């Protein structure tokens, strides 16, 4: 492929693919409610993608190395499109849960292959390629739920048909624009295990990884349970879409400011303030009673989430050696992403065993942040 223009063509394909996946998110809780799902059942439908993604994405990269990036992107996207359109035919919330799990497995197949493809297409402009990719991904995350909510006001099942059509379009763009590339099988898994051993030997990196883990834990749990709480409070699909979008917007905007500020004042002060802020913010969800209160807390959460998550990655960038940094970063991200599994699973187990209402899970989401607080306070500043 030609570098330069091909980066933007890949960005367009990425935007279409990610946009389609976001359309159905604000609609699923309403459909699940109509299919007789309880509060915890609705939360499970929203949370199962995080758990399966966290379980599978660490190992899914080996498939792309063995069978090719484009092939895996096409396979995963078609699997996602099929799972989405079958949701239209679901007559029970349990079927909806299984189909969402299948869609998450598809996302796990696509993700590592797409990241590897971005790096290869970027060539000597990997930074530019990754920036375009993340920007297109970010805009899709912002616009997708709102468009899905608007389409859902016409018919609850319209977003699923549009999702199917856009996914097929995205697959076609990838197949048309992107040549097949194969990596060397076996290297990815072995280098990941070796990198995890390297990280384990450096306590500061483990603390930075745990810092990021606290945010991934809270994010996955929050986005699993907020749709169920919204249904409990009588919110519409469009209002649920607004909740999901509000956090994404503030998170994205805050990233640039927080990163620049940390270069001036250091990583540690921002991480400490972010942990305190996020803990209070999460606990406050226990008190929400209406849409506007929930919307405000979701928007405010994006600020704290950005501070904690970005500082975890930035501390790692400060500490990791230049040699093998990319592979080490992959292992570091794998440790943080364990929160995708642990966060929702912990909250689901707590609610199922205690029998308490959903809102009691929100203070629980703050526990890892409170545990991380003294660890970061006693940690040396990583910025030199």
Answer with the residue of higher pLDDT: 309 or 376.
376
How many Å is the maximal CA-CA distance in the chain? 58
Least confident interval from 48-62, 77-91, 169-183, 247-261: 169-183
Higher-confidence residue of 361 and 56: namely 361
Examine the pLDDT at 130 and tell me if it is beyond 70: no
Q: Where is average pLDDT lowest: 48-52, 81-85, 129-133, 364-368?
A: 129-133
Greater pLDDT, 181 or 147: 147
Instruction: Tell me what pLDDT residue 211 has.
Output: 94
Question: Between these two residues, 69 and 263, which has the higher pLDDT value?
Answer: 263
**Is 70 exposed, middle or buried, given 0-12, 13-18 or 19+ CB atoms closer than 10 A?**
buried
DSSP 16: H
pTM, 2 dp: 0.81
Average pLDDT over the chain, rounded to an integer: 84
Calpha distance 193→212 (Å, rounded): 20
CA dist 355 to 94, 288, 341, 349, 360, Å? 20, 20, 21, 10, 10
Between 139 and 96, the higher pLDDT residue:
96
Alpha-carbon distance of 224 to 133, in angstroms, equals 25
> Cα–Cα distances in Å, from 105 out to 78, 126, 155?
12, 27, 27
For the CA atoms of 137, 142, 146, 152, the dihedral, rounded to the nearest 10 degrees, stands at: 30
| Rounded CA separation 204/190 (Å) | 23
**Cα–Cα distance for residue pair 265/258, rounded to 1 Å:** 10
For residue 23, which of 174, 229, 252, 240 has the smallest C-alpha distance?
240
Rounded CA gap, 312 and 298, in Å? 21
Structural domains in the chain, sorted by start: 1-185 (1.20.1250.20), 190-384 (1.20.1250.20)
Q: What is the DSSP letter of 316?
A: H
Structure-block tokens of residue 99: 């189909």
Q: What burial class does residue 112 get, using C-beta atoms within 10 Å of its C-beta: 0-12 exposed, 13-18 middle, 19+ buried?
A: buried
Per the CB < 8 A criterion, the answer to whether 213 and 54 are in contact is no
- Please say whether the beta carbons of 55 and 172 come within 8 A: no
- Report, as an integer, the average pLDDT of 105-126: 73
Distance CA 125, CA 24 (A): 34
- As a whole number, mean pLDDT of residues 251-275 equals 86
d(CA 107, CA 161): 18
Tokens of 329: 């970063």
């Amino acid at each position: 492929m030609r570098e330069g223009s091909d980066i933007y063509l890949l960005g367009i394909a990425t935007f279409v693919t990610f946009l389609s996946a976001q359309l159905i998110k604000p609609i699923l809780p309403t459909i699940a409610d109509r299919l007789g799902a309880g509060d915890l059942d609705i939360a499970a439908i929203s949370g199962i993608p995080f758990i399966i993604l966290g379980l599978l994405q660490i190992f899914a990269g080996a498939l792309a190395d063995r069978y090719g990036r484009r092939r895996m992107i096409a396979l995963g996207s078609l699997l996602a499109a099929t799972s989405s359109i079958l949701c239209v035919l679901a007559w029970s919330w349990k079927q909806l849960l299984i189909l969402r799990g299948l869609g998450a497995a598809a996302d796990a197949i696509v993700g590592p292959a797409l990241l590897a493809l971005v790096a290869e297409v970027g060539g000597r402009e990997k930074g530019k390629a990754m920036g375009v990719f993340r920007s297109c991904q970010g805009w899709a995350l912002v616009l997708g739920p709102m468009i899905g909510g608007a389409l859902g006001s016409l018919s609850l099942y319209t977003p699923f048909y549009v999702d199917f059509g856009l996914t097929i379009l995205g697959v076609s763009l990838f197949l048309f624009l992107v040549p097949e590339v194969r990596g060397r099988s076996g290297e990815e898994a072995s280098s990941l295990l070796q990198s995890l051993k390297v990280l384990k030997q450096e306590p500061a990196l483990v603390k930075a990884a745990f810092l990021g883990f606290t945010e991934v834990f809270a994010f996955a749990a929050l986005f699993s349970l907020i749709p169920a709480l919204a249904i409990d409070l009588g919110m519409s699909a469009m209002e649920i879409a607004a909740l999901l979008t509000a956090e994404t917007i503030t998170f994205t905007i805050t990233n640039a400011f927080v990163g620049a500020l940390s270069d001036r004042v250091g990583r540690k002060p921002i991480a400490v303030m972010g942990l305190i802020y996020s803990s209070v913010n999460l606990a406050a969800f226990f008190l929400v009673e209406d849409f506007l209160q929930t919307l405000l807390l979701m928007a405010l959460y994006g600020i704290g989430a950005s501070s904690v998550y970005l500082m975890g990655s930035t501390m790692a960038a400060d500490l990791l050696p230049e040699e093998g940094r990319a592979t080490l970063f992959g292992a570091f991200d794998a440790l943080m992403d364990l929160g995708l599994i642990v966060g929702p699973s912990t909250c689901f187990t707590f609610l199922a065993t205690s029998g308490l209402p959903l809102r009691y899970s929100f203070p629980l989401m703050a526990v890892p942040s409170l545990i991380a607080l003294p660890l970061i306070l006693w940690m040396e500043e990583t910025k030199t």
